Amino acid sequence: MSRKLDESQGRGDFFKSLGTLFGGFIADQVETVVEKVTPKQLRPPGALSEFAFLTACTRCDKCIEACPQDSLIKAGPSAGLGLNAPYLDPRSMPCFLCTDLPCVKACPDGALVWPTRTLADGEVLEGPPAVKIGTAVVKESRCLTWASEDRAPQDCQVCVDRCPYPGVAIRMTDTESGRHPEVIDERCTGCGLCVFGCPTPEPAIVVLLDR
Ligand code: SF4
Ligand code: SF4
Ligand code: SF4
C-alpha cells in the first residue's frame, strides 16, 4: 500500500530518523556524496528525493510489475548505488500518468508516495498532475520549428499534442523567430510523452532532473 505523503514531509521524516543516528551535518554529507556518485536517472512517479528514495527502495520490483505500460526499467550495474532501482527512459517508453498511479500504490516501502504539490499561486495539485519526475526542456538546435543551417523551419507541435496537459504544461508560443513550443516548468510532470513523440532522430525535447 502506498503512503499519502507530502514530498517535503517524506524527506523530512527520513532525515529526522537518520539525523537521530548521525546528526544532521553527517546526514547531509552522506546525501551529497551518494548523489554525486549515483548517475542521474529519472525515477518513477511519486519518488522521494534521490537519497531518500535509494535508501527506502528495497528493489522489490513491485512498481515495475505494476506498470501496465512497461515504462519502468530495472537499473543495471552502471547505475552504481542505484543498482536494481527502477528508472524511466522516456525515449524508450514514457510514463502515461495512469489515473490511479498503480506504481505508487504497489510500493510497499514508502519509496513512492502519492504526490501532492503546491504551486506558486497556492493551488494544490494531487495525483497525476502533481507528479514531478523532472522538467521537459526544448533543444532549439534540434527542434524543427527553428531554422538550422541545412533546413528551413517547419510546422511541428507533436510535443504539445502528445502532452497530457496541452496548453498547461507545454504550449505553442508565437515569437519574432516563429512559432515554437514553450514548456511551463511548474506544470510539467516530466512524464516524457513529448520526448517519446518528438519526430527528430535525436529528441529535440528532453526531460531533465530538477535535483
Ligand atoms: S503512472 Fe502508470 S505508466 Fe507511469 S510509471 Fe506508473 S504505472 Fe507506469
Ligand atoms: S515535437 Fe520535437 S521537433 Fe516538434 S515542436 Fe516539439 S520539440 Fe520541436
Ligand atoms: S511537457 Fe512533456 S514531460 Fe511535461 S507534462 Fe507535457 S508531455 Fe509530459
Helical axes 7-22 vs 24-37, angle rounded to 10°: 120
Closest residue CA from atom 2 of ligand 1: 98
Distance in angstroms between the alpha carbons of the first and the last residue of the chain? 26
Residues flanking ligand 3, CB < 6 Å: 136, 162-163, 165, 169-170, 183, 188-194, 207
Q: Are strands 113-114 and 3-4 parallel, antiparallel or unpaired?
A: parallel
CATH architecture for segment(s) 134-208 = 2-Layer Sandwich (3.30)
Question: What's the pLDDT tens digit per position in 122-142?
Answer: 999 999 999 999 999 999 999
Closest residue CA from atom 2 of ligand 2: 198
Closest residue CA from atom 7 of ligand 3: 163
Averaged pLDDT, 91-118? 98
> Could you tell me the distance, in angstroms and rounded to a whole number, from the CA of residue 95 to the centre of ligand 2?
18
43, 62, 97: residue to mutate for ligand 1 pocket, most atoms within 8 A of CB: 97
Question: What's the pLDDT tens digit per position in 25-61?
Answer: 566 666 566 666 666 899 999 999 999 999 999 999 9
Ligand with an atom nearest the CA of residue 138: 2
Which segments of the chain belong to CATH 3.30.70.20? 134-208
**Cα-based angle 48, 52, 55 (whole degrees, multiple of 5):** 125
Q: Quick one: pLDDT at residue 119?
A: 98
Q: List the one residue out of 97, 78, 74 whose CA is nearest residue 87.
A: 74
Residues flanking ligand 1, CB < 6 Å: 44-45, 66-67, 69, 71-72, 95-98, 101-103
Ligand with an atom nearest the CA of residue 88: 1
Q: Looking at ligand 3, which atom is closest to the CA of residue 191?
A: 8
- Residue 90 reports pLDDT greater than 80: yes
pTM of the entire structure? 0.85
- Identify the DSSP state of 145: T
- Ligand 2 in reach of 145 Cβ (< 6 A): yes
The whole-angstrom separation of Cα 159 and Cα 124 is 25
